[in-house]
Amino acid sequence: MRSFQELADMTGRTALVVGGAGHLGRVACQVLTEQGAEVASADLTADPRTLAAQTFEVDLHDEDATRALVPTVLERFGRLDVLVHCAAYTGANALAGWATEFEDQSVAAWDRAHRVNTTSAFVLAQAARDALGSHGSGSIVLVSSIYATLAPDFRVYRGTGMHSPAGYGVSKAGLAQLMRYLSTLLAPTVRVNAMSPGGVWRDQPTAFVERYEHGTPLARMATEEDVAGAIAYLASDLSAYVTGIDLVVDGGRSVW
């Protein structure tokens, strides 16, 4: 049997992290780099804190540019083994008609968010399936959310000015179903899984944090590094016999 280090080792493999300039995207880039992979990061703009061999700028609303990421990575690195989809319109996005009262949430914002949160993962999986399937080490990790399966507890948000837009959870539920669809379609050469974090602490209003912690068995919000192990596991041979799962990293919040 290979050692734990050998199973985790990604030397010689290439990973594309879409949304690699974001908070969790940067964690994915770092952990995959530490595992030995060549990492390409793609995002609207580059972030100097992203640890990647190469960064690409892409607007995921643009289907052609999104699709073209895959041949660009192949040209630069010669292969593609792992696709991590981390990009999203989250509840923190300032787009008008998005993270606001339900009656003010707009179809335009809903459509734009779905384009990034869900449609771009579909486009990238289509573009990357052959490359991912050609070396026996293909893995897609779709970063979802507990709101793919849970309703927001709106009592936690009350009076804080924060909102969880309907389109967010719906887009993540779509992503979760895309994961299941791809996990059987692309088997046995490519594994496809989701990873669903709970709320990550970002200095939110105290009332929100206290209520959130109260509803979480591990009694705290997530930190960025809490997702590192899940990414490392799902991307590498540590999870070689795992496909079609949603790995929930939420401090037990969804157990209650």
Ligand X SMILES: NC(=O)c1ccc[n+]([C@@H]2O[C@H](COP(=O)([O-])OP(=O)(O)OC[C@H]3O[C@@H](n4cnc5c(N)ncnc54)[C@H](O)[C@@H]3O)[C@@H](O)[C@H]2O)c1
> Which residues would be at the binding site for ligand X (CB under 6 A)?
19, 21-25, 43-44, 58-61, 86-88, 90, 116, 143, 145, 197, 199-200
Task: Give the nearer residue to ligand X in terms of CB position, either 6 or 225.
Answer: 225
Give the separation between CA 221 and CA 219, rounded to whole angstroms: 7
* Nearest-approach distance from CB 129 to ligand X, in angstroms: 21
Task: Give the nearer residue to ligand X in terms of CB position, either 25 or 167.
Answer: 25
Of 122, 117, 136, 140, which Cα lies nearest the Cα of 15?
A: 140
* Nearest-approach distance from CB 102 to ligand X, in angstroms: 19
The owner of tokens 């974090």 is 197
* Nearest-approach distance from CB 136 to ligand X, in angstroms: 28
By beta-carbon distance, which residue lies closest to ligand X?
Answer: 22
Give the separation between CA 17 and CA 40, rounded to whole angstroms: 6
Task: Give the nearer residue to ligand X in terms of CB position, either 174 or 199.
Answer: 199
Task: Give the nearer residue to ligand X in terms of CB position, either 2 or 49.
Answer: 49
Give the separation between CA 245 and CA 232, rounded to whole angstroms: 15
* Nearest-approach distance from CB 118 to ligand X, in angstroms: 10
Task: Give the nearer residue to ligand X in terms of CB position, either 184 or 223.
Answer: 223
Give the separation between CA 26 and CA 6, rounded to whole angstroms: 23
Of 172, 72, 166, which Cα lies nearest the Cα of 121?
A: 172
Distances in Å between the Cα of 245 and the Cα atoms of 51, 87, 191, 234 are: 27, 20, 10, 10
Q: How far is CA 163 from the centre of its chain?
A: 20
If residue 40 lies in a helix (H) or strand (E), which one and from where to where?
strand 38-43
Task: Give the nearer residue to ligand X in terms of CB position, either 109 or 200.
Answer: 200
Within a 13 Å sphere around the CA of 57, how many CA atoms are in the beta-carbon half? Answer: 5
* Nearest-approach distance from CB 205 to ligand X, in angstroms: 14
* Nearest-approach distance from CB 33 to ligand X, in angstroms: 17
Give the separation between CA 25 and CA 240, rounded to whole angstroms: 22
